[in-house]
Amino acid sequence: MIILKNYPLKKHNTFGIDCNAENLVRIRSETDLKEAIKLPYPPVYVLGGGSNILLTGDLSGLVLKNEIKGIKVIEEDHQEVIIQAGGGENWHQLVCWSIKRNYGGIENLSLIPGTVGAAPIQNIGAYGVELREVFEKLEAINLRTGKKKIFYSTDCAFAYRDSIFKNTLKNEYCITQVCIRLTKTNHRLITGYGAIREVLQEKHIKDPTIQDISDAVISIRSGKLPNPEELGNSGSFFKNPEIDNEQFEQLQKKFPQIVHYELPNNKVKIPAGWLIEQCGWKGKRIGNTGAHASQALVLVNYGGASGKEVKKLADQIRSSVLNKFGIELSCEVNII
């Protein structure tokens, strides 16, 4: 096993933050993982695609770079298929692999950056679909004991951009395999969220396939979100807050044009991007960082920004939204 000392992480986090890992080991199998956690370098960090983290400094101890690959069908019938993918697989490549075989259910999650292993941690979601809707189970290794555990959906405590792995079990497991259940026929097409329907209409597509929906999502995301290879970012930095009806009614009196989406259980979702934009942050630059000109929800590194600079900007944005609207934004990005 090769231990890489003072390993640069700039190319391994989509914010492009320039910092180092004191010790890094590439994990390509469960055997690698079980050997690595025996090394005398605590604490342990698991790094996937680096697309949902903000590094505020060098990482001491041991960093495990999850590179466990492999995609295969483990069960199927005439209507459904269960796919198993390694935690180090690229998520979008898994989506493409599935669509190529006409397996439906994750086409709306196209072009989401990151790895398969990180997807359940975040309960990734976009355009009306969340991972938990197709999730079957996952395999994970306890980073203290080396024991394998299988987590089913009810074990994961999935919520909006959340799971047990971001809370109770944070930093306790490395996800090695993820299984999802997809459709082979009678795909459930979700076209009413966001601009998907508009894109399909522009292309004169009346009876869309899962490939058509994927193409539409890719087009929308590419036009709205900056490419991390060109401008450092981690996509949406904050979660869209959910408030109760009573609080919303009071806000609507003060801000009649407030953008909102009604939810079950007397809740209302307010787009965080709208709140941030109303506070004057959209396109605003402070030093080497700022809120993107096309999507205020995306914080960016214009080059040379430190993680602490980005965090300071995020704190200022949260404070201004709280002061103006009485809503406290929660970070979607994991700050380390």
Residues marked as catalytic: 161, 236, 332
Q: Which of 124, 117, 8 is nearest to 71 (CA)?
A: 117
Angstrom CA distances, 294 to 109, 155, 226, 240, 297, stand at 21, 38, 9, 17, 9
HEC-encoded secondary structure of 199-236: HHHHCCCCCCCHHHHHHHHHHHHHHHCCCCCCCEEEEE
Is residue 254 helix, strand or coil? helix
Burial 296-326 (b: 16+ CB within 10 A, else e): bbbbbbeeebbbebbbebbeebbebbeeebe
CB contact at 8 A, 12 and 50: yes
Phi/psi-derived region of residue 288, left when phi > 0, alpha when psi is between -120 and 50, beta in every other case: alpha
Angstrom CA distances, 205 to 95, 267, 270, 294, stand at 21, 34, 31, 27
Angle at 128 between CA 90 and CA 139, to 5 degrees: 40
Span between the terminal Cα atoms of the chain, in Å: 26
Burial 158-195 (b: 16+ CB within 10 A, else e): bebbbbbbbeebeebbbbbbbbbbbbeeebebbbeebb
Cβ atoms < 10 Å from Cβ of 37 = 21
Cβ atoms < 10 Å from Cβ of 255 = 15
H helices present in 101-235, as ranges? 118-122, 153-156, 196-202, 210-224
